[in-house]
Amino acid sequence: MNQWKKNLYITWLAETICLMGFSFVLPFLPYFIQELGATDRAKAALWAGFLGTATPLMLVISAPFWGTLADRLGRKVMLTRAMFSGCVILALMATVRTPAQLLILRLIQGTLTGTFVAAVALVASQTPPENSGYSLGLMQTAVYVGSSAGPLIGGLASDAWGYRYSFLASSMILGLAGLLILVGVEEKFMPRENGASQNRSNKLTTAQTFPQVNLMILLIVLFFFQLSGTVVSPVMPLFLQEMPAPPRYLASAAGSILAASGLASIVSAIITARISDRTGYEKILFPLLLAAGFFSLIQPLSRTMGQLLFWRVIYGLAAGGVLPLINSLVNLATERDHLGKTFGIVGSISALGSGMGPVLGGTISSLLQVKAPFFFSGFMMILSALFLWAATILSRAKSD
């Protein structure tokens, strides 16, 4: 097996485990806040909001810094640093006595971790350009698998062991992920010397379509896609309450719908990555964005949970391939010795969109109605697709 493939599979496994560890604590975090003294539900909800925003907020600030450092010191060392930092921080969370102490540690977590950005930069720096779609598509599935399995296992663990022991379990999971990278991944890192560039002579059509000066286009599309994708997250349970179903089944119905959509996204990421390596990334990205927007517009028209489940799965098949394609285009349009910095910026923009989406969705829902965020999401994705199409045409016209 080629070394780049070996590194890819080990990094994928480690990052999947790592993201499981980070999301391990999400199901019981509001209950843990109540145990720490915020017994009033309104206060607990407020603290939960602060804690949910703290980590991505700090990631927006810290990701470009760590990415730039990765270009100087190596991507493997940055990834292991992030994973072992998370291991220590989650262990410390098991010892907190107040919500404020937990908030401080969540802020530190956002400052020192950002493992997915580091993992993508590591994989991108070693993957041949013609396999970029496959590698970065596979890495995106780590997000879907880890963020889906982590809360499920974490919820079961907290019921069996209690909240504090569950933090320790998540800490050990991150430690295992860090060891996998430390022992299993080989990186022959060569830093730039005397300002010399290690730029690739990439002759793929996609690289010519999106030259480095047009990275801003991809970042804009990325921001609005993440914003559009997360704007419905706070209103989904409320939308389900409007459908005919016994109240005691609402939680399980919501979980099933989200899990099914996540599974569809995994399938989409793998399939589109395989196809895009042969046909070109920009040729698939535009129709996927357009389809995701269209199926987002259809979802609020659902009258039963079965209908909503069906449209969420179709939406997941369209939306699941978008992020791998964006990452592939960014990779092909970036010099190797700037990959860390560039993907740091990508991670920052992604976190910003993901962090703003739920707040915006809750606001839109409170001002209009529960269905409104779905329509907003669909229109924003369609506008992003049209913007990408127009920018691509202008880019080709200038290069001719």
Q: Please state the pTM of the whole predicted model.
A: 0.74
Both tokens assigned to 378:
């669909």
- Reported as a pLDDT band with limits 50, 70 and 90, residue 205 is very low
Both tokens assigned to 252:
């399980």
> In this predicted model, what pLDDT tens digit does every residue of 300-332 receive, in sequence order?
998 888 888 899 899 989 998 888 888 888 887
pLDDT at 42: 65
Does residue 52 surpass a pLDDT of 60? yes
> In this predicted model, what pLDDT tens digit does every residue of 2-11 receive, in sequence order?
889 999 999 9
pLDDT at 23: 83
pLDDT at 204: 41
> In this predicted model, what pLDDT tens digit does every residue of 207-264 receive, in sequence order?
444 444 377 888 899 999 989 988 887 677 667 777 775 555 555 566 667 667 778 8
pLDDT at 211: 43
The percentage of residues in the chain with a pLDDT greater than 90, rounded to a whole number, is 27
Query: Which domains does the chain show, CATH number per domain?
Result: 1-186 (1.20.1250.20), 202-400 (1.20.1250.20)
Does residue 283 surpass a pLDDT of 70? yes
pLDDT at 162: 85
More confident residue, 204 or 396: 396
> In this predicted model, what pLDDT tens digit does every residue of 116-130 receive, in sequence order?
888 988 998 888 877
pLDDT at 172: 95
Does residue 198 surpass a pLDDT of 60? no
Helix axes 322-332, 281-298, angle to 10 degrees: 150
More confident residue, 169 or 273: 169
> In this predicted model, what pLDDT tens digit does every residue of 132-164 receive, in sequence order?
778 888 888 888 888 777 877 887 788 788 889
> In this predicted model, what pLDDT tens digit does every residue of 329-343 receive, in sequence order?
888 777 777 777 888
pLDDT at 245: 59
